[in-house]
Every structure is written in structure tokens, then in C-alpha cells.
Amino acid sequence: MFKKIKFYVRDYFAFSQTEIKGFMFMILLILVLIISVFIFDFLPDDSQTSKTINPRRVEELMAKIEVKESDNKSVFQDRYANKYEKYDSDRMHSKPIKLSPFDPNQASEAQLEELGIAKWMTKRIINYRTKGGQFRKKEDLLRIYDFPSGLYAKLEPFIMLPEKSNNAVFPIFSKSDGNADIKTPTIFPNKESFKPTAFDLNRADTNDLKKLKGIGSKLSLRIIKYRDMIGGFYSENQVKEVFGLDSIVVDEIMKFATIRNPVLKKIKINQVNAEEFKHIYIRPYVAKSVIAYRQQHGNFTSKKDFEPIKLLDGKTLDKIFPYFEL
């Protein structure tokens, strides 16, 4: 058969013997290449099998990446804070520290710096006072965020706060009918002598809160705004999270505030997307992790379904779960 093919090729193309051999070799090479393409299609593709997606593995990798990003962020913040504190401490050592009695409610920024308090901390104290905060006990100074406990131990003997009586009264003098030169005192009890009644913390307005000792218009409005921001209180202890409330104000609220059948602003956790899932109790990257877990494993049916999410710790889950609607 091969001889017949050679004969037809030589007769049709008028090739020489050498040209016929070259032509036959090219035909054979083309056939081999064509057949090899079909053979490779039936061979197992190791690279393809190695790229099989494992949803659980993907979730673990995402969690590790997010944890690493949050760790890097905290490390950056710690480095920045340490650098800032070191700069400020070096600056403070250049000035002599003068320990003397002081009232944190009235001391100026310069006086606080002379006591060894860093400049950024003195500004934080002044800002706290400007927003209505008051220091009623020595321990209230530690309520300032990041106030050094070691520095407080040194300053504690020098903190002087005015003593206030709960039964204080204000004498107002009025003229007597009989003699214009004689004045008799008329005693008016102060606001604190009136005992407020119990009230529902979720239904109270600013007027209800202002009846309490130590709460004015600013603090009462701040409490209402925080309540609306978190979606309502489910526990009286949540009032401690409001910025600017000192220990006495918190104790006063806890005496009279109650919570009956709270109607909370719920988050439809099985329907909300990553952009809509926002709450001050949960960080954005943790919220995204919760949504990603739901998309991979299905809807949540109970509190236990949230426990496998590595980025959502138990403390945060306990705080935010009352705001979930399953």
C-alpha cells in the first residue's frame, strides 16, 4: 500500500524520490500531532483537580487573612501610641513635675501638665468636662480612657473634691411685711431633695432623665441618642456604655430605671447583606465574616449557629444577639 501511495504522489506531483520521502514524512508528522491532541484530552488533569474549591478551606483562609489584617492594624496602632507616648513622656521629663492638691473639675490644662499628666491626656480631660462630665469621686479619673493607673496612684492623695451634702438647701432672703430693713430667710429645697419615681428606660424622654441627680439637658439627650443608635436597651447595664456618665450618675439611673418588655430594633440577619449589616457592637470585618458564613452554610436558626464563626467571639455574640431576628 505504501508503494501505491508513493506511485500516486510521484505521478501526480512529479516528485523525485527524495521529495516523495520528505512529503510522506510530513504527512506522518501531521497525523501524529492530530492524534496526540485527542490522546491528551483523555489524560487526567492534575492541575485541574488540585484547583477544586473546598468551601470550608476558603472560609478558614478568609478568617486567617482578616485576623492578620486586624492584628496588623492593632500593631500599627500600638506602635503609633507607643511612639506618641514616648515623645510626650520625653517632653514631660524636660519639665519638673510639681505634685500639689488639685480639683480635676477646675484645674487648667497647664496645671494638669505640671502634675505629670501627658498633654494629649489633659486635652481628653478638658474635653470630658466640656461635654458635661464631672468628677464626683477620685476613682472617676480612671474613667478617662487610657488614664495610666500608675499615675493615678501618685496623684490620688492630691485629688481634692468639694464635699456635697445630699440635703443641701439654698436660703433665699425675702423682706418682712413689718419692717423693710429686716429680712427673714425662706428655705427652698434643691432639686436633689425630690425623689424621682421608677421609669422605663426605653420609653423615658429627656424630662424623665433630668429629674435624676446629676443629669442635665446634655447628658439626658446623649442617653436618648445612644439608646436610639443601638436599637433600644435590653439591660439596665447598657447605660454604662454611654460616654460621659460618671459613677454617681450611673448609680442614680440604676436605682430608678427599669426595662419592661423591650421593643428592640431588630436586624434580619438571614436577609441583610454586608453593606447593610452595621451595629456599634460589631466591627465591619466581623460583620462581613458573618454574612460570608451564612452564604456558605445557609441561614441561621439559633444562637448556636454563630459559634463556629472564628472572628465572632462569645462576648460580642452575647451583646449583639438580642438585636438579631432569625
Q: State residue 221's pLDDT score.
A: 92
Buried b (16+ CB within 10 A) or exposed e, 244-276: bbbebbbebbeebbeeeeeeeeebebeebeeee
Separation of alpha carbons 153 and 209, rounded Å: 34
Q: What is the pLDDT of residues 131-186, one digit of tens each?
A: 777 888 888 888 787 788 888 888 988 888 876 544 444 444 444 444 444 444 44
43-76 pLDDT per residue, tens: 655 544 445 556 666 666 666 666 566 555 544 4
- Distance (Å, rounded) from C-alpha 209 to C-alpha 245? 13
* Residue 294 burial (CB count, 10 A): 19
- Residue 137: how many other CB atoms lie within 10 Å: 13
Per mean pLDDT, which range of 13-27, 74-88, 211-225, 244-258 is the poorest? 74-88
pLDDT at 129: 83
Among 9-23, 36-50, 236-250, which range has the highest average pLDDT? 236-250
Instruction: Work out the number of other CB atoms within 10 angstroms of the CB of residue 20.
Output: 16
The answer on pLDDT for 281 being more than 90 is yes
